[in-house]
Amino acid sequence: MKTQAPGHPADWWGEFLGISGTFDRAYLVEGLADLVERTISAPLLRREARIAADVVVCHLNRLGSAELADRAGAAAARLAATLQRIDERSTGGVSTAEAAALSLALHGRYAEAAAGAEPFVGTKALHRLFVTALRMERFDIPLALRLLEGGQSPASAVRSGALVGRYSWWPAWLLSIVTERALAGTLDADTMAALDRCAYASLSPAQARLARRLLGGDTGLMATAAERLEALGEREAAGRLRDGDLNAVALAARLVPL
């Protein structure tokens, strides 16, 4: 299998582990085993790696079992010992790098395991595995994956995915604006709160188009909208709109005709 250039360092992958208190380590190890197993060329090593991973996953799914904990520790140690023997006797015919990455995960070194496996299994597959393992409710996984592929850090991508996930009921035109801002790295809680006013404003299609242009920073339209607000006695809202306050957009969209 052709490998790709090395990707992210271990500390980058480590960001995922501290983001969610519900991080599913059993899911991560099982998923990593599925990805890595197919890249191990030696059949016997591939089988031993699979067996060891299955035992460790059983333990991670039942952390209260002392017996499973002992079995998992023994299985992980056996795989590590096998890899050491192969490396000591190797003449270059058998690659252990793939199984070694999985071995790190079986010892709880998940970030190092991801960094080691990335050249073999690919970045996108690991992105999806780690993001899914977060087990976060009301979370926009596709958006988080797009942000990661766009170069954002795990913390930033997950934060945006969590923000947008709470507002999945928003109309499509507004969600597209949110996505654009997230990709640009300008999405935060204050912006989401302001955009939420537009979602609750029950805008008509024409008003929604107007709001989208205002949110996009159309300076000419913004000046016209501010003048219209002033004519209607909404001087404070007009001033906020000129200052770039997103909270004034919903009001402007409702009151300013196209």
How does pLDDT run across 108-154, given as a tens digit for each residue? 999 999 999 999 999 999 999 999 999 998 899 999 999 999 999 99
Interacting residues of 131 by C-beta distance below 8 A, sequence separation 6+: 16, 141, 144, 145, 148, 157, 158, 161
How does pLDDT run across 38-76, given as a tens digit for each residue? 999 999 999 999 999 999 999 999 999 999 999 999 999
Chain length of the chain: 258
- Provide the CB-side half-sphere exposure for 7 (13 A, CA): 25
Residue range 181-204: average pLDDT? Answer: 79
**Which pLDDT score, from 0 to 100, does residue 66 have?**
96
pTM: 0.78
**Which pLDDT score, from 0 to 100, does residue 93 have?**
63
**Which pLDDT score, from 0 to 100, does residue 112 have?**
98
**Which pLDDT score, from 0 to 100, does residue 190 have?**
80
- Residue from 194, 184, 193, 207 nearest 256 by CA: 207
E strands, 54-155, in order: none
